Structure 1
Amino acid sequence: MSIFAFMKLTLQLASIYNILWGAWVVIFPNHFFELVGMELPSQPMIWQGMGMVIAVFGLGYWWASYDALRHWPIVAVGFLGKVFGPLGFVLNYLEGKVPFEFFYTLITNDFIWWIPFFLILKNVHQDYNWKLKEK
């Protein structure tokens, strides 16, 4: 598989995943909490807002899949979210603000995408030199 096919497939899979996950959270905001035995949120609208943001990222990943090098800022923002999200979880968990069960969202939302997104950004660095526009 060429690097371009890899980037396209990665971003399209991330897109589909994000759109489905976001829709699930928006439509069934209590379902995740019920699955892992957590207390239901008192303000599900906040969780639904998170679902909407994740779904919108899915649209961005789909559009970026057509030319990942040119649309690398979308990939970079997604990668940063996938790094800072778990960091925020750790900090909040250590302060006792969030139960451990919330960790399960990090596996599919963040961790599995670290290496593929990193490889795309590595390719952007090596072959595209972080250009923001065509010259």
Structure 2
Amino acid sequence: MSFECHGQRCRVPAWMPRLLFFAGVYHVFFALGAMAWPHLCFDWAGIPRPNHPVLWRAAGMTSALFGIGFMIAARDPLRHWPLVLLGFAKATLVIVLLSASIFANELPARSLWLAFFDDIVWWFPLGAILWSTVQANLGRPPTHERPLTVPEASAAYRLSSGETIADASGKQTVALVFLRHFGCTFTRQILTQLTDLKAEADRHDARLVLVHMLQKGSEAHYLGDRSGVARIADPVCELYRAFGLGKGGFLELFGPRVWLRGAVAIFRGCGVGHLAGDGLQMPGAFLVRDSQVISSQPARSAADMPDLPRLFEGFGDDFGTLAANAR
């Protein structure tokens, strides 16, 4: 799900505020109905009436509070995500408890109608809004309204050795390997293969450079002095965007292929660490010469690893598009 962020405010699809406002109106009217006619829903679902109608009226008052919360959240869904989370948690809890009661034969199956309009129909859209919130908050807003071009980024970003990408790529081909966050098992797998990656780059008279999302110098905690590879710090993910690397979707980050390859990496001892960087950022690898992309490997999933032999053969699938943009 795509949306634009400017400063700290993101422009979301129109359906989000509309749905939250409608959910708020529904919950308020449901509360009014529950307080005025506490037995109506039970009679309609064919369930014995509760002994104490005041309990159902109290549930109605709670529903009204959720309704007010949804209408407040409709003003800015991503900013007021805690209100959306409360509604999502309430819907999840009701669905689970009601399903468990039906499974235990404590309630008839038709009692699910009690939760259908009040919880089930809202569960998926509320979950979608929360997922967009994760994307907006973990994915750092860009510092420019438009992405930098590759030549602009090459002139702006410096290697840990001091020269810009433009200077370095003017002397020899630069192999940029964009990492995911340092706690990712696939990033940890790349770090175990740095010697081989550097040797492959040296074989083609190229310079291997790692791009990460931490503040300059913070990567030393994960790399130490063992790599001998130049690095570029990109905490706002601006360089990533310049090379066309965006945020991953659900399948790109958590699809079957990612789980399978992740299990293999963990079995081989790569492990998993804490989140150190943008957990949604996609990785990739590129060859740059004279501030121009000459070969590319944008990852299709979080599990994709840099394949430098193939990259040097110039078979990057998106080479034509990226090279054109670089000009």
- Please give the range of the TM-score, normalised by the shorter of the 2 chains: 0.7 to 0.9
1:33 alignment counterpart: 42
Q: Report whether the alignment pairs 1:21 with 2:30.
A: yes
Partner residue of 1:78 out of 79, 87, 96: 87
| Superposition RMSD in Å | 1.7
In structure 1, C-alpha distance between the alignment counterparts of 2:98 and 2:46, rounded to whole Å: 18
Q: Secondary structure of 2:75's match?
A: coil
Q: Secondary structure of 2:50's match?
A: coil
Partner residue of 1:112 out of 111, 121, 125: 121
- Normalising by structure 1, we get a TM-score of 0.87
In the alignment of these two chains, the number of paired residues is 129
In structure 1, C-alpha distance between the alignment counterparts of 2:104 and 2:120, rounded to whole Å: 22
What is the CA-CA distance between 1:29 and the residue it aligns to? 0.1
What is the CA-CA distance between 1:42 and the residue it aligns to? 0.7
Q: Secondary structure of 2:69's match?
A: helix
Q: Secondary structure of 2:105's match?
A: coil
What is the CA-CA distance between 1:105 and the residue it aligns to? 1.5
1:9-62 Cα deviation digits (max 9, x unpaired):
010010011111111111100111222222221111111111110111000000
What are the ranges of 5 or more consecutive residues in structure 2 without an aligned counterpart?
A: 1-10, 140-327
In structure 2, C-alpha distance between the alignment counterparts of 1:97 and 1:115, rounded to whole Å: 26
What are the ranges of 5 or more consecutive residues in structure 1 without an aligned counterpart?
A: 131-135
1:60 alignment counterpart: 69
In structure 2, C-alpha distance between the alignment counterparts of 1:125 and 1:51, rounded to whole Å: 31
Q: Secondary structure of 1:69's match?
A: coil
* Structure with the higher fraction of residues in helix conformation: 1
Q: Report whether the alignment pairs 1:128 with 2:145.
A: no
Identical pairs, percent: 27
In structure 1, C-alpha distance between the alignment counterparts of 2:56 and 2:31, rounded to whole Å: 10
Aligned residues of 2:28 and 2:63 also touching (Cα < 8 A): yes
What is the CA-CA distance between 1:94 and the residue it aligns to? 2.6
AA matched with 1:56: L
1:60-82 Cα deviation digits (max 9, x unpaired):
00011111111100001111111
1:103-133 Cα deviation digits (max 9, x unpaired):
1011111111122111111110001239xxx
AA matched with 2:27: N
Q: Report whether the alignment pairs 1:12 with 2:21.
A: yes
Give the greater-gyration-radius structure (CA): 2
- Normalising by structure 2, we get a TM-score of 0.38
What is the CA-CA distance between 1:4 and the residue it aligns to? 4.0
1:75-96 Cα deviation digits (max 9, x unpaired):
0111111111110012222333
* Structure with the higher fraction of residues in strand conformation: 2
